[in-house]
A = this chain, B = another copy of it.
């Protein structure tokens, strides 16, 4: 997954290889017709040309209301909880929202604690702001809050903890509720922010998704949850949101670029509002959930068939995009990719790429989002062949 200059690092793949590293929806899941129809309606002959004017700093009010209703329907918030439009600010997607967050809520030289492993491109966003990045391990129940607590006892509090509580990238883990509660308590006690990167909350396979991180904030203003339309609609829209208690949203809205530019992507927000209203987005999300569940199943079945020894301890994905696969002892994922992927026509994300400070070279990240079941099965077969040809036993 080497990126050529100017190429988006998540999409670099030879035309023949099956690249199980691709963390993006397949072209067949990009709903061009939905966007086209919404654009035609929202920019139609009877539309208000003011949709093209500078927008409101927090994003268009009617869009925020539609989004709040969608989130209330689609997030598992607990009885009596709902998302309010006043808790939302429209962003240009999670990547740029993370950049704004780093500017607003950290001073260069301060530390960000990330789950280790973590989303591999987040690190660069923090480093662009001159922040130091430290890791705290993730296990099957999400970020290890006891390890975080020990770390907090040892040194200065970080500016924020960056985590992915729902269907973690790359491990797929969901943060256990008791850990989530303790994380917010620690944030209060040590005065830091919990920045939750949550693009997959609505992409759980079970009817009840795990609660979003804001469920545990309970008005304390310690959680800043970043959501996105990239994984539930289309990445190229560059539209997302920040979800937090109102005082935190107000602090976010003071960013100079929002004051000057008048809100991020109001035209796109208007089009997406059209996709939300009338239920097209709900139907699309249901379609994605079913599709990804079938793909995850196909990949896991194929891994069990071709690499039973490796997949033994791997939990069934409950949502999101990823499977985090251990390699045989002594096998380095990056070296394996380098040595054999071209000849064997299979690629993946080496665990070392997702590591903060841990040695995760014996893991690889596989995504089931981009390919059809048949291709995923073929990818798993090729991966097994690659490992076997490299002298590792994957079946015994």
Contact = CB atoms under 8 A, between A and B. Distances in A.
A259 B57 CA distance: 25
A292 B270 CA distance: 28
Contacts of A43: 32, 35-36, 39
A44 B53 contact: no
Contacts of A260: 94-95, 98, 121-122, 124-125
A7 B130 CA distance: 31
A339 to B, nearest CB: 26
Contacts of A49: 27-28, 30, 32
A265 interface: yes
A8 B260 CA distance: 8
A31 B267 CA distance: 13
A257 B11 contact: no
Given A11-B262, A39-B40, A121-B259, A51 B253 contact: no
A256 B126 contact: yes
Contact of A52 (B100, B237, B265): B237
Given A52-B235, A255-B99, A263 B8 contact: yes
Please state the number of chain copies in the assembly: 2
Interface in A1-57: 5-11, 24-25, 27-28, 30-33, 35-36, 39-40, 43-45, 47, 49-57
A250 to B, nearest CB: 7
A236 B52 contact: yes
Given A27-B49, A36-B40, A255-B99, A104 B92 contact: no
A33 B24 CA distance: 33
Contacts of A56: 6-8
By size class, the interface of chain A is 35 or more
A32 B52 contact: yes
A256 B54 contact: no
A68 to B, nearest CB: 15
A126 B28 CA distance: 42
A369 interface: no
A268 interface: yes
Given A39-B40, A125-B259, 13 more contacts: A8-B54, A30-B49, A32-B51, A52-B235, A92-B265, A107-B108, A122-B260, A123-B256, A124-B256, A124-B260, A125-B260, A238-B266, A267-B268
